[in-house]
Amino acid sequence: MFAFKFEKIKNLKENLINIKIIKLSEINNQIKQKMQRISELKNQIKIFYKRFDDQIKTHVDFSILKYLSEEILACELEIKSIQKTIEELEVKKKIQIEVIKNLHKEIKKFEKLKEHYKERYIYEEKLKDQNFINDISTIFYNRNS
């Protein structure tokens, strides 16, 4: 009985840990995707700067220069936005890790409690057996006296 209750709670906690680990991996994947997007944007910015420099060297068309500078600015703003999102995801990641650690600690506590109650149960059973043996010995002794 004692083992079943603790085992059931332990299994529920382990399932919850698995769910939290899946969420953690999803957060890591999102961070990785955001980092890839940032590198893509940085590459685009390099291309825009190169085109900007080429435009200045060849012939100055202010409309193209304005377009390129706006694209560079848009990419830089998107990078800042993505970096802010990554920071939020990092905070979520830390929270998930803490939750997983706490759940792991709880599982260990339930294992210790289960072991404690098991030892207590065994001790009580041995005590009952010993009392039964003592009762039989007393009865046998009283009959022989």
| DSSP of 13-38 | HHHHHHHHHHHHHHHHHHHHHHHHHH
What is the reported pTM?
Answer: 0.71
pLDDT (average), residues 93-111: 91
CATH number at residue 87: 1.10.287.1490
- Look at residue 129 and tell me if it is in a domain: no
CB hemisphere CA count around 43 (13 angstroms)? 6
Confidence of residue 97 (pLDDT cuts 50, 70, 90): very high
Residue 36, domain extent: 1-107
- Look at residue 41 and tell me if it is in a domain: yes
What is the number of domains present in the chain?
A: 1
Please tell me the predicted confidence (pLDDT) of residue 18: 93
CB 45 within 8 A of CB 135: no
Residue type, 5: K
- Look at residue 21 and tell me if it is in a domain: yes
- Look at residue 123 and tell me if it is in a domain: no
The residues near 61 (Cβ < 8 Å, ≥ 6 apart) are: 55
